Amino acid sequence: MTSRTRLRLVAALAAAAAALLAAGQLPALAVDDPPAPVTGNATHFDGLGAPYGGCGLPQSELDSQDFVALNVYNLPGDYSSFPTRPLPPSEADRIGLWNNGLNCGRFVTVTIGDRCTGINDGAPGQPFCRNGSWVADGYNGATLTMVVADSCGDGNAWCRDDPYHLDLATGSLNRFARNGVPVGDLYPNHWNNRHVSWSFVPAPNYSGDLRIGFLQGAQRYWPAIAVSHLPNGIHGVEYLADGAWRAATMNSDMGQSYVIGATTSGGTDFQIRVRDAAGTLVNGGRVYRFALPAGCGGTCSAAYTPVSYTTSDGTGPTASPSASVSPSVTVSPSVTASPSVTGSPSPTGGPSPSAGCAASWRVTGTWSGGFQGEVTVRNTGAAPIAGWTTRFDFPAGQRLASSWNATAGQSGSEVTATNASWNGALPAGGTTSWGLVATGDAATPTGLACTAR
């Protein structure tokens, strides 16, 4: 078992980013995806460091609490300190499947394999599962889909000798499922290190659109952002500056964090577009427009400050601007509420179409006895809104356990959530989201509705 805590200091990140910017150096794309599936040793760790994991996101902002770390280096037999990150092109043969951060935000489907009956401690220079053998048992074949959120750069045999090693979130081990039923008791009594087989997959049940937030220390002269809720990973961010698209520099090797530039020098308005793991522009070249949040003052103090944005579709700066969000790409259906409109009465006595919102729901994680969900709120009107409230009913006795990014409560089966102080104001077409953990079986809520004010 490995248990790692990583403290990433803002000053160090800023210095690393500045150095990369000055050098014009981008992390090398040097590692192809492995053949699918591959088999490697699996270890586990307790959680991401503070304030960020290796991909540049706080743990609370991950798409799923089922997450993995990939190997930073490909250094079989070398357990010495090797601090260079990201590795330059001259060290391409040393780059592990972390791929200088370029596999951040991708999902992997992991299948439990044989258990080691001997010693599998990752000791340098020692074989895996020595004085024992790999045996199958009743947990073989259990699967779970997990997001890449962290890196394994430790000087042990797991992170150096085994290119297909995965470090799994400890809290996920008992959520592996067979025939849709979580195994429940794989860890700790039936673990003792395992083989797992795994492969990269697109984000499961994807719906909605990207999330964008500024990192701690961000300001107009160091606008560091994190991009998440990705349909198929992220291999680049481009920003519009002085009428031209420019490649942003990755923030060290935190693959979901990039240092962008403003549309005009020294400004606080930004436009970006994103490329996925295939190098394809996300959503056909959709342009995301946003500003440094007023709540940041001169510098963002929170680990992660989400922003609302507006979008337009197209492939360049001449794309027709739009005040509303074009329909998002949806891989599987989500529940969407009909717009609930509030505002001044229209001349006909009906509601004004100038203000309204819609809500959509998705399950982001499941385990025995509980699940995690997310509600996305979109301003569907032609004018900004000052706040919003979402409501829905749990269909089968589920109970709200906790929530974030909203003030939420439950009465009977009905769950009501009102915006937090910082995410209530949405421009026309803007989006935000709030999340929850609930007890009971994961299910689609009924009567999902959103009211704007």
224 beta partners: 259
Interatomic CA distance for residues 269 and 219, integer angstroms: 11
**Where does residue 64 fall: left (phi above 0), alpha (psi -120 to 50 degrees), or beta otherwise?**
beta
Would you tell me which CATH number, out of the four given (3.30.470.160, 3.40.640.10, 1.10.150.20, 2.60.40.290), belongs to the domain 335-452?
A: 2.60.40.290
pLDDT tens, residue by residue, 57-91: 999 999 999 999 999 999 999 998 877 889 988 88
pLDDT of residue 290: 96
CA gyration radius for the chain? 23
Name the one residue in this structure whose structure tokens are 């040097």: 30
Interatomic CA distance for residues 214 and 208, integer angstroms: 20
Contact 365, 401 (CB under 8 A): no
Domain map (residue ranges) of the chain: 10-201, 211-312, 335-452
pLDDT of residue 405: 78
The pTM assigned to this predicted structure is 0.67
Say how many CA atoms lie within 13 Å of 289 toward its Cβ: 18
Query: Taking the alpha carbons of 327, 331, 333, 336 in that order, is the dihedral positive or negative?
Result: negative
Integer angstrom CA distances of residue 316 from 258, 284, 289, 329: 20, 11, 13, 19
Question: Phi and psi of 218, rounded to 5°?
Answer: -65, 145
Q: Is 7 exposed, middle or buried (0-12, 13-18, 19+ CB in 10 A)?
A: exposed
Interatomic CA distance for residues 54 and 58, integer angstroms: 9
Torsion of CA 10, 11, 15, 20, to 10 degrees: 0
Interatomic CA distance for residues 86 and 72, integer angstroms: 9
Return the CATH architecture of domain 10-201.
Answer: Beta Barrel (2.40)
Domains 10-201 and 211-312 share a fold: no
Interatomic CA distance for residues 337 and 397, integer angstroms: 21
Interatomic CA distance for residues 146 and 109, integer angstroms: 6
Name the one residue in this structure whose structure tokens are 């996920």: 172
Structure tokens at 202: 């697109």
Contact 445, 436 (CB under 8 A): no
Return the CATH architecture of domain 211-312.
Answer: Sandwich (2.60)
Task: Provide the residue type at 182 as one letter.
Answer: P
pLDDT of residue 354: 52
Name the one residue in this structure whose structure tokens are 């342009």: 287
pLDDT of residue 30: 59
Integer angstrom CA distances of residue 440 from 367, 371, 401: 9, 7, 10
Residue segments in the chain with a per-residue pLDDT below the cut of 70: 1-30, 314-354
CA angle 244–247–249, rounded 5-degree value: 140
pLDDT tens, residue by residue, 89-140: 888 999 999 999 999 999 999 999 999 999 999 999 999 999 999 999 999 9
